[in-house]
């Protein structure tokens, strides 16, 4: 079949180049939005009398039939179909005839068509799925945090689940298990907010119509109304420079960078879950359906799902970097280098969606070994509380920090723990120590003193959960 652009050529394209030039295997997933844009464009051509009402009806019906073929997996791709735009136009001509079908592309280029399709795809295909799965992850994190705010270890005790908080991977201070879970809810909430802004609110990029820009110079059709076309496709703005519109991929860069950040958040959460599920930590037990075994060692239960998420985050970053490198040396307007923007975008979308789905399942199903969490607490983690005790006695914090360090040093040299040091020995270190120092050796009291906004105390955690509750309701 003759190429759409083949009129000025005498020789056929080299088969190797034809294969390299073809993007139909990648961009066929644009079929819904390509048809959506074409239907709206046909209305615009009818409005300026370049299509009769009968011709527009034929085109609309033909596009509807093509939609049904794709929907029912009956659309037959041919070797001559370079891309999704070529395939749909070819099929339309087959259905309604080349004379009427050939009019649809009047004033339109694949340059502005693909740019517009990508914007539509992000808005109508990617955004709903990614925003939904991020909301489900937020809901899951919130639910698990709520589960461990107050738990009963026996009939007379009701206290939050507490375990070690870490800095530099060293035990630092006691924190509520719920506080740790929520420390990942907030990054994913930011991710959800940023996605909404990128897709719906920014005054450029994804919310801007590029269709009607032609190949480079714009649309020459007298009376063609791009503002009406933008409204028809639910865009907030029209591009104001046709040369910029056909080459702009900033909106894809926004999404790829955003996906990289989400990937980093997923990777860090994965790392925590991997560590906490090891025999050495033992705080959590991963569900069987998200783990695998060893072909040699029968006892193994490997966190492959989390390791894959952690590894895939590198690909998200590399996809972002790849498009940056593609763009950095291009001259103005469209260049074929941009064909790979779709592969990078779709790959990142697929990776992110599957990673988020897996993480939702893990968060909902992992078990917590409460005893291991409590048993991992050690009195030296209350050294900061000891310093605060002295601060409340009037000692400046830097001096109190120094004294608390001496207490830790004394305990280490005497092969004991700081809570077992006699009051007499404590007084020898600093006379401000009194009998009430015994109240320091309580992990629940330690956690609950952090009542200020953002702290690990129960009141602060409840406040965090309330904010997330309202956010998810409003969303």
CB 426, CB 390: distance < 8 Å = no
Nearest to 51 by CA among 2, 107, 13: 107
Residue 441 near residue 416 (C-beta atoms within 8 A): no
Cα 332 from Cα 318, distance rounded (Å): 24
Which is the catalytic residue, given 85, 242, 294, 459? 294
Structure tokens at 356: 């988020």
> How many C-beta neighbours within 10 Å does residue 13 have?
13
Around Cβ 402, how many Cβ atoms within 10 Å?
14
Phi, psi (5° rounding) for residue 440? -70, -30
Pick the catalytic residue: 85, 105, 168, 446?
168
Decide if 183 contacts 196 (C-beta within 8 A): no
Catalytic residue status for 294 = yes
Say how far apart CA 159 and CA 444 lie, in whole Å. 7
* Tokens encoding 18: 């034809």
From 371, 370, 376, 407, select the one nearest 174 (Cα to Cα): 376
d(CA 160, CA 180): 12
Nearest to 26 by CA among 343, 285, 337: 343
State both tokens at 187. Answer: 């990054």
Residues 134, 355 contacting (CB under 8 angstroms): no
**Would you name the residues annotated as active-site residues?**
168, 294
């Amino acid at each position: 079949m003759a190429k759409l652009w083949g009129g000025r050529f005498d020789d056929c394209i080299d088969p190797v180049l034809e294969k390299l030039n073809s993007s139909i295997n990648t961009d066929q997933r644009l079929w819904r939005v390509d048809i959506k844009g074409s239907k709206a464009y046909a209305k615009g051509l009818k409005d300026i009398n370049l299509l009769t009402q009968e011709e527009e009806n034929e085109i609309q019906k033909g596009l509807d039939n093509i939609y049904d073929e794709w929907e029912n997996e009956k659309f037959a791709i041919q070797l001559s179909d370079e891309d999704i735009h070529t395939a749909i136009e070819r099929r339309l001509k087959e259905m309604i005839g080349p004379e009427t079908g050939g009019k649809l592309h009047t004033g339109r280029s694949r340059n502005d068509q693909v740019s517009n399709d990508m914007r539509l795809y992000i808005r109508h295909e990617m955004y709903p799925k990614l925003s939904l799965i991020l909301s489900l992850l937020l809901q899951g994190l919130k639910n698990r945090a709520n589960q461990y705010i107050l738990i009963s270890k026996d009939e007379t005790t009701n206290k939050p689940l507490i375990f070690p908080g870490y800095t530099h991977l060293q035990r630092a201070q006691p924190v509520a298990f719920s506080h740790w879970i929520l420390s990942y809810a907030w990054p994913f909430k930011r991710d959800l907010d940023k996605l909404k802004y990128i897709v719906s609110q920014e005054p450029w990029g994804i919310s801007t119509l590029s269709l009607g820009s032609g190949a480079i110079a714009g649309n020459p059709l007298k009376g063609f109304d791009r503002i009406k076309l933008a409204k028809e496709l639910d865009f907030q703005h029209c591009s104001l420079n046709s040369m910029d519109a056909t080459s702009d991929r900033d909106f894809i860069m926004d999404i790829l960078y955003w996906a990289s950040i989400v990937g980093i958040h997923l990777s860090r959460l994965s790392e925590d879950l991997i560590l906490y599920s090891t025999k050495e930590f033992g705080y959590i037990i991963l569900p069987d359906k998200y783990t695998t075994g060893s072909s040699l060692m029968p006892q193994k239960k490997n966190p492959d799902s989390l390791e894959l998420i952690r590894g895939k985050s590198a690909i998200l970053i590399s996809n972002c970097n790849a498009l940056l490198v593609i763009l950095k040396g291009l001259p103005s307007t469209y260049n074929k280098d941009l064909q790979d923007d779709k592969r990078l975008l779709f790959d990142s979308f697929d990776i992110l969606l599957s990673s988020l789905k897996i993480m939702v399942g893990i968060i909902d199903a992992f078990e917590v070994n409460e005893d291991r969490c409590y048993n991992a607490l050690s009195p030296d983690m209350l050294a900061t509380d000891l310093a605060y005790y002295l601060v409340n006695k009037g000692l400046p914090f830097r001096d109190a920090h120094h004294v608390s360090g001496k207490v830790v040093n004394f305990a280490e040299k005497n092969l004991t723990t700081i809570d077992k040091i006699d009051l007499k020995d404590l007084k020898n270190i600093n006379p401000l120590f009194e009998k009430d120092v015994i109240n320091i050796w309580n992990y629940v009291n330690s956690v609950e003193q952090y009542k200020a906004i953002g702290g690990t105390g129960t009141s602060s955690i409840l406040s965090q959960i309330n904010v997330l509750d309202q956010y998810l309701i409003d969303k």
